[in-house]
Structures are given as structure tokens and as C-alpha cells.
Copies of this chain bind each other. A is one copy, B any other.
Amino acid sequence: MSRILYSLSGTDISRPFSPHCWKAAMALHHKGLEFDEKLLSFTEIPTVEGGVTKLVPLLRDEDTLVSDSFQIALYLEETYPFAPSLFGGEGGKAMARFVEGYSQSTIHPAISAIALMDIYNMVAPADQAHFRKTREAMFGKPLEEIFPDREGAIAAFPAKLQPLRHMLRSQPFIGGASPLFGDYIVFGALQWLKITTGSVHLPADDPALDWFERCLDLYNGLGRTVA
């Protein structure tokens, strides 16, 4: 097959955890497109496709290479217009950028504060040195001291999903009656949290958890294939 999604893997290649790679995989399934997923460690990324990128996801679709999950979704929407839409029109395309802004600025930092050491312990040994070096430079302290209050971060996490919970009073998905790429943006983040820490750390009766479970059900339970 000439459609390949290059994705991120830790030591255990059966448990891909990157939020951005999950977004891209869900988008491909949404469009009903078959693809091979090739899992790479951080340090392997520059060794494929002529070193075109240091980051995944990277999509090869015949002769086209596209990196960045949002760009991949835009590419798929333009290239496969007759498959189910990922955005539901131009307004949805624009507002998916707002959902991305929320996910990156609110959810991702909250997850990092819980999962940093879990992620470190999952990545391949060759990647650990790189991971430690970049994070320690970013935060100016030893990796183990960046987020000292993991339990506090877990307790604070559910509140970060309040915008989603408020919206769920009106509709079952960010996309309305059915999911769109905006759902996959937030789903990718929670899937990252679940795979790296074993839980999304939400109460059992949380409507946000119900939404996450609905997303896990999509595409024959794709999200459940990684425990």
C-alpha cells in the first residue's frame, strides 16, 4: 500500500501514545481510508522519507508527504471531498483551530504535569537521553523535579474539561450529532493520558468520560486496541 502513517512509539510498539498521531489516525479512519501505520522512536523519525521532518505524524499518500496533524486533516479534507467531512464546512474548519488552541494550551500542559515521568519510562532507551535533555532545558530543572505534585495534578485535571462538559449539555460530540476532527483533537489528548498513565482520571459519572467512551467506540473500537 502506498498510504503510510508514520507514528510515534515507545519501547513497546503495541502502545503508540502520541496525541497528534492519534488525531491523524482517527482522521484517516473518519475518511474511510486504509493505511499502514509505521511506528518510530523519536530518534528514528529523521531516518525515514529522507529526513523530511523531526516530528510525527507524517503521512505519505502516494507521492505526497504531509506532516502536522492539522495539516494532515486539511489535506485529507481537500483530497477526499466525497468521503465524510472532517470539518463540516469552512466555519467548522476555523473553529477546529479554536478547539486545538484549547487542547494545546489547557489540556496538554495539565496532562504533562501528570504523565511526564510515565512518558519518560515508556520511550525507547535511545530516546530517554534526548527526552531528558530537551525537557530539562525547557524547565531549567532535573526531570524528576519538573512536576513534583503528581497527585495534585490528577486532582486538578477534571476541571480542565469544563468547557467540554458545558458543551455536552447541548450535543453528544464537539462535531454535533456525530464526531468531527475537533473531537479527535481532544480525544487524542485524553488517549495520550490514558495510554501513558493507565487512566483518564475522571469520575465514573462524568459526562466528559461518557464522551471519551463514545470516541473509544468509533471505528470498531480503534481506541480500545491499545490498553
Known: A88-B89, A92-B90, A93-B91. A101 touches B165 (CB 8 A): yes
Task: From known contacts A89-B89, A100-B167, A167-B100, infer whether A94 and B162 are also in contact, taking CB-CB under 8 Å.
Answer: no
CB nearest neighbor in B for A89: B89
Q: How many copies of this protein are present in the complex?
A: 2
A105 within 8 A of B: yes
A87 to B85, CA, bound (A): 16
Name which residue of chain B comes closest to A182, CB basis. B95
User: Are B166 and A95 within 8 A (Cβ)?
Assistant: no
Indicate whether A180 reaches chain B with its CB closer than 8 angstroms.
Answer: yes
Within 8 A of B (CB), among A87-114: 87-102, 104-106
What are 17 A-B pairs with beta-carbon distances under 8 A?
Answer: A88-B89, A88-B90, A89-B90, A91-B93, A91-B175, A91-B182, A92-B92, A94-B171, A95-B95, A95-B96, A95-B174, A95-B182, A98-B163, A100-B170, A101-B164, A101-B166, A105-B165
Complex Cα distance, B99 from A174, in Å, reads 10
Give the chain B neighbours of A32 by CB distance below 8 A. Answer: none
Contacts A90-B88, A90-B92, A180-B91: A171 and B101 contacting too (C-beta < 8 A)? no
| A176 interface residue per 8 A CB criterion | yes
Question: How far apart are A212's CB and chain B's nearest CB, in angstroms?
Answer: 15
**Inside 8 A of A104's CB, which chain B residues have their CB?**
166
Complex alpha-carbon distance, A87 and B92, angstroms = 8
Check A147 for interface membership: any CB of B closer than 8 A. no
Interface string of A153-168 (1 = CB under 8 A from B): 0000000001111111
Q: In the complex where A105-B166, A162-B106, A166-B105 touch, is A91 in contact with B98 (Cβ < 8 A)?
A: no
A35 interface contact, C-beta 8 A: no
A120 on the interface (CB 8 Å rule)? no
